[in-house]
Amino acid sequence: MGSQTPARLGIRTHHQPCAACRMLRRRCDSNCILAPYFPGDEPDKFAGVHKVFGASNVIKMIQMVEETNREDAVKALVYEARARLRDPVYGSTGTIFQLQKMVQYLKLQLKSTNARVLELQQQKDQLLGIFMNVDHLDVLSSVDHGPSFSLDYEDSMASNLLIGKPH
């Protein structure tokens, strides 16, 4: 009994009309091509598409597309209709141009930021080089333990720097 549907049991079910049929004030049957893409609880979705393209053109466009691609085609129609209502002159093209300008601006910003990072890294390297030379000279000049100590101390400092030990 679990596999029997209300229709098989002879019980009539009330089919909710899709947004397209509701707007066009026509009967929505189970074969309605628009029903899967424009549910009754989303009337604005069809209203925009209808206003921009017209119901008959929408039906023709949907019929021209393979069934497997129809959902994507309807999404594209809805997107374009909304863009066209927002910007009647350029539609989605205006959005594309705006995004392209933003990409160009961000590329320039990235280039500038990368140049600044390189400049700061070079400054850091220069300062570290100066610091290492000054620090090394200060330690050597402040203590005089004779010529053999100086060479031993330089070797010791160099090896400590290489392995990361403080002096």
Number of domains in the chain: 2
Give the structural domain span for 114.
Answer: 99-163
Q: What is residue 11's predicted lDDT score, i.e. its pLDDT?
A: 47
Q: Are residues 70 and 103 both part of a single domain?
A: no
Q: Are residues 109 and 79 both part of a single domain?
A: no
Helix (H) or strand (E) holding 137: helix 92-142
Q: Are residues 39 and 78 both part of a single domain?
A: yes
Tell me, rounded to whole angstroms, the distance of Cα 60 from its chain centroid: 33
Q: Are residues 68 and 103 both part of a single domain?
A: no
Minimal CA–CA distance to 73: which of 86, 57, 89?
A: 57
As a whole-number percent, the residues of the chain with pLDDT over 90 amount to 66
For residue 84, the 8-state DSSP code is H
pLDDT tens digits along 56-81: 999 999 999 999 999 999 999 999 99
Residue 77 in any domain: the answer is yes
pLDDT tens digits along 91-107: 999 999 999 999 999 99
Residue 8 in any domain: the answer is no
**145 confidence band (pLDDT: 50, 70, 90):** low
Q: Are residues 60 and 34 both part of a single domain?
A: yes
